[in-house]
Structures are given as C-alpha cells and as structure tokens.
Amino acid sequence: MTSSTQPGSLLIQVEHLQKYFPIEKGLLKSVVGHVRAVDDVTLSVYRNETLGLVGESGSGKTTLGRCLLRAIEPTGGTVTFHPRNGAPIDVLALDKPGLKALRRQVQLVFQNPYSALDPRKTVLQIVSEPLILHNVVRGDALIARVKELLDLVGLEVKHMNRYPHAFSGGQRQRIGIARALALNPEFIVADEPVSALDVSIQAQILNLLQDLRRELNLSFLFIAHGLNVIKHVSNRVAVMYVGKVVEMADVNDLFVHPRHPYTEALLSAIPNPDPDLRMQRIILPGEVANPANPPSGCHFHPRCRYAVERCKQEVPTWEEKAPGHFVACHRTDEIELIGVPLVG
C-alpha cells in the first residue's frame, strides 16, 4: 500500500456527529451535565482507504468508532453509508432489521483479544456465529467457509475446535479478525487492534490487515493511540482531542506539515527508536481536559503554547486550509509548526 493509492468513491459520510452521555445524580437520576464524548465531528471515509483516528485516552475515539455502526446510539448528527450497490443509507434512521442488515457490511475488531472472545466457545463456533445469525450458509458449506476464513487470517484450520485460551494474543486477534470478515463486510472499524500485542506480533497483525485490505477491497477506520502505527497503516489521518477532530489530512502531509498545535506536540512526544534523531520535544503542560467540563473556546487552549485571547472565547471552525487538509485552529495561518521529516 502506498498513500498515493487513489481513494475510491465515498463510503461513509459523517456530519456533525454528536454523542453526549448524561451525568446523572441522586435518587431521581436528574441529569446534572453531559460528557461530550463526541462533539460535532465531520469526516468521511472513502472506499479502499484506511482512515487513521488518533488521540489520547478519553478523547472519544472509541465512542466515535462505535457510533458509526450504532453500537452506541449517537445523540445528534448524521451518518450516511454508501453501499456497493443500492441507495445511500441513513444509518441513524434505521430500524432493527435495517440495522442488522447494515452490520453485515460494517464490522468491528476489538482492542483486547483476551476479552473479546467467548472463552466457552470454540474457534469454529466463534467464527461461524455471524454466519448463522445472518443465515448465510449452513452445514458443510458453513464449515468450509470457516476454514476459508481461518486460512485467510493465517490460522491453522486443524485448530478450529480449540478454545480461545489455547491461543496466544496475536492468534486471538486473528480469530477476532476472521469473525469480523465472516460476512464479507465493506467497512471495518478496528479499535486499537494491536495495542495489546507485543512488538514482534504487532507487525504480523499490521501486515495481515494490509493484505486483507488489498485482497478484499476493504476500508478501515483504524483507531490507535500510537502515531507510528497510525502512520504505517493509514492513507489519511484524523486527530481527535476532547471529543473534537482538530485536524485531518493525507498521512504524509499531516506528519510532515502539521497545522494544529496539538498534532505538533503529539508528534514531538513520540519516543523515536533512533538515537541520532532528536526532535525538539514539546512538553505539553497539564493533562487532557475533562470532556464533562471542557475549557471554553478551543478545548486545547490551556495547553497550547500559541494560544491567544481569542482561543479562550471562540470555538474554532472546521476549515479546509489546503486541498484535503482540514483543521480547526484560529492561528493556523499565522504559526509555523514543526513536523517529522521523512527519511529515506
């Protein structure tokens, strides 16, 4: 995969998506506030591309990913899914049967391969479950399909009657991927699929996901907090901070020429496994803001070294500053930000 791969047509369009979790207090459960987990997010995913979604814990990455397939019910905005054949689907307006049909095409891969698989089911049962639920195949054809899937993700077919505990973390993640692929989805939300794995195993899973994307024409929303992983797998990257996407651009563009101060700080904070390459480290003061009580104006202003009075008062607008490069920052045109140079 190279980042120059031509993105296909529009697959998922998210506009002004919003998820507020109510904070309830007292016996009567009166709502005293809201956690703004996802706050007015607009983005789109194209066919055959991987959109990387990066952010620190609590920034709303997982909530955003799950809202796309309504594993969490959004409280506002629109999500439109454009299937391979057929008319665009308004995901948020779907009824139960409609939602079930949607989930044949949109699937999830989870972060923790140890808790995402039922320990009392065999691999065969786990991988065949979606096929049975959606009544796709039965009998011998079902077994054949499971074998095909296991083969696809690089697991030994002869192990299909074993239970998850018999597998290592990397192998379990492969089982989770096989399950997600069972229904031939078009779009997969991969929520931190490698962060629970060891470095040498991470590489195996990242390579597998790339192969699958190419072979099966898949599109991914790839959620991670490791920028090096994001850079490796993504065509485009969206950076989230306290419920909002603050910057979105083509992967090389974003890493070499970041336009949001948070992206710049995030890039500089990554420890680089090259003792000769010492980047000027920007240490952000303080911690990620609380989404239940975010700062006024631009949520990032208390930690931003470029912040001015205006940043405290006005919420910056989401603008396209260069073709395909979106950013929400008042001062993006005035400041010169440092990215990561490309080597080799």
Interface positions with other proteins (CB under 8 A) = 1-3, 56-57, 168, 170-171, 198-204, 206-207, 210, 225-229, 231-232, 234-235, 251-252, 255, 265-277, 281, 283-284, 287-288, 340-344
List, edge to edge, every strand of the sheet that includes 89-90: 30-46, 10-25, 76-81, 89-90
| CA dist., res. 79 & res. 92, Å (int) | 6
| CA dist., res. 263 & res. 255, Å (int) | 8
Q: Which amino acid is at 115?
A: S
Nearer to other proteins, 107 or 235 (CB): 235
What residues contact 178, with CB distance under 8 A and at least 6 apart?
A: 127, 146, 149, 150, 152, 153, 155
Closest contact distance (angstroms) between CB of 2 and other proteins is 5
Nearer to other proteins, 130 or 258 (CB): 258
Nearer to other proteins, 263 or 332 (CB): 263
Angle between helices 139-152 and 169-181 (to 10 degrees): 130
Closest contact distance (angstroms) between CB of 316 and other proteins is 20
Closest contact distance (angstroms) between CB of 118 and other proteins is 22
| CA dist., res. 112 & res. 93, Å (int) | 30
Nearer to other proteins, 74 or 294 (CB): 294
Nearer to other proteins, 272 or 313 (CB): 272
Closest contact distance (angstroms) between CB of 93 and other proteins is 36
| CA dist., res. 260 & res. 279, Å (int) | 17
Closest contact distance (angstroms) between CB of 150 and other proteins is 17
| CA dist., res. 122 & res. 246, Å (int) | 43
Nearer to other proteins, 28 or 199 (CB): 199
Closest contact distance (angstroms) between CB of 169 and other proteins is 8
